[in-house]
């Protein structure tokens, strides 16, 4: 096999090994995918300040994330259907994160259950929760997270309704896959994936099956989401969850300065600047464009984390320089999981670690706390628009 040198190598390998519906589930955005593409385009426009003749012999990449020591300023983001990229995907990703000394966050919409991950890893992990109409179920879910020894609760607030993802609809994306000729032929060409799924502990939504009313017999994430997610969600619900959860509370999905200020008053310990990976409001700004504005607005009143478009150590450096204390990586590690299982997740983390280390050396930085806007060639993201770029990329993508 060709050596893996970057996250894109893992992405290309995952595309070959994971059935089309599940690969495209993580590799796409909503509607015309403008925000999905902007996350990467804007990230690449942030330029680093090269420094020379600075003693960078001893570099320290460690930090703390919501009070937890971490070998890197990253955590593995919550990914729905993680276990459909590779059998026991949540367990494997958690094990890789533990061995790397970074946090792992499990999604409500995981395939393995939180109890299965807790039993397999014997280590604390974060749990991500959505608020649905059945508040009793949410209270039970939080109680289960306590019992599973989760060390932080991540409340995702930007999915009160589901943004349409064209590729999921066209692929008929369900769990397990629909039995139709195109799916069967695709799956038959992925023997490694089939073997991993057949040997998995769970093959449906592990945190939901047997626990939430209305989930029986539902194999479509979109079907369940549209019927259960609650558009009445408000800051009062954040306060309610704060009252139920004694540990660290992280609010994910903040993309507006006013919302960031409200979050500082909500009792949360941290916020994640995020547009859900370009999978919700298409036409929203990129996460990296909003990060410095939000970081400036909240100052030290709340810990600022970042999510959206990180594919390298250079990207991680950019986000830290623009105000994030730490970052979540999602697609970067999920490509590794689909490509090589646990080893792929480890490889993704190692790629980003090595790239961040070299980037720090070449910018004259020896510790994470010294990464700030002075380490950028320009202090703000250029304001040029991407109208032509977006038009061309949309045309190339077939008008999505």
User: How many Cβ atoms sit within 10 Å of the Cβ of residue 354?
Assistant: 14
C-alpha span between 226 and 244 (Å, rounded): 26
Pairing of strands 270-273, 303-307: parallel
Between the alpha carbon of residue 286 and those of residues 37, 309, 378, the distances in Å are 8, 9, 18
Contact 117, 92 (CB under 8 A): no
Residue with the two structure tokens 């070449």: 362
C-alpha span between 133 and 6 (Å, rounded): 41
C-alpha span between 128 and 156 (Å, rounded): 7
Pairing of strands 68-70, 63-65: antiparallel
C-alpha span between 174 and 160 (Å, rounded): 20
The token pair that represents 212 in the structure block: 């939430």
Phi, psi of 69 (to 5 degrees): -65, 140
Measured distance between the N- and C-terminal CA atoms of the chain, rounded to whole angstroms = 33
Given the residues 86, 211, 276, 386, the one annotated as active site: 276
Residue with the two structure tokens 């607030």: 157
Contact 323, 296 (CB under 8 A): yes
Q: Is 211 a catalytic residue?
A: no
Active site residue ranges: 276
């Amino acid at each position: 096999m060709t050596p893996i040198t970057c996250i894109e190598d893992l992405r290309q390998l995952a595309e070959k090994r994971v059935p089309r519906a599940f690969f495209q589930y993580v590799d796409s955005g909503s509607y015309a995918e403008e925000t999905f593409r902007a996350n990467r385009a804007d990230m690449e426009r942030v330029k680093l300040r090269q420094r020379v003749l600075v003693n960078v012999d001893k570099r320290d990449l460690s930090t703390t994330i919501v009070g937890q020591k971490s070998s890197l300023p990253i955590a593995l983001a919550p990914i729905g259907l993680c276990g459909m990229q590779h059998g026991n995907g949540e367990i494997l990703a958690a094990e890789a994160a533990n061995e790397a000394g970074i946090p792992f966050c499990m999604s409500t919409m995981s395939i393995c259950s939180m109890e299965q991950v807790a039993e397999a890893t014997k280590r604390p992990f974060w749990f991500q929760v959505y608020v649905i109409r059945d508040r009793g179920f949410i209270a039970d879910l939080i109680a289960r997270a306590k019992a599973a020894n989760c060390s932080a609760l991540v409340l995702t607030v930007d999915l009160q309704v589901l943004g349409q993802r064209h590729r999921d609809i066209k692929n008929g994306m369900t769990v397990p896959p629909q039995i139709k000729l195109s799916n069967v032929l695709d799956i038959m060409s992925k023997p490694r994936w089939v073997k991993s799924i057949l040997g998995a502990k769970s093959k449906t939504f592990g945190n939901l099956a047997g626990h939430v009313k209305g989930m029986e017999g539902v194999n479509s994430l979109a079907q369940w989401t549209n019927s259960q997610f609650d558009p009445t969600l408000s800051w009062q619900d954040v306060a309610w969850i704060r009252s139920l959860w004694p540990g660290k509370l992280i609010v994910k999905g903040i993309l507006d300065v006013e919302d960031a200020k409200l979050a500082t008053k909500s009792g949360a310990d941290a916020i994640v600047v995020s547009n859900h990976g370009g999978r919700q409001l298409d036409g929203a700004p990129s996460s990296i464009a909003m990060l410095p504005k939000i970081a400036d607005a909240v100052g030290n009143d709340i810990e600022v984390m970042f999510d959206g478009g990180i594919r390298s150590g250079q990207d991680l450096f950019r986000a830290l320089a623009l105000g994030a204390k730490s970052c979540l990586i999602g697609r970067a590690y999920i490509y590794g999981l689909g490509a090589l299982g646990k080893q792929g997740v480890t490889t993704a983390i190692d790629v980003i670690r090595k790239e961040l280390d070299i980037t720090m050396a070449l910018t004259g930085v020896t510790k994470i706390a010294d990464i700030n806007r002075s380490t950028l060639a320009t202090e703000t993201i250029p304001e040029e628009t991407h109208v032509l770029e977006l038009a061309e990329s949309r045309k190339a993508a077939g008008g999505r």
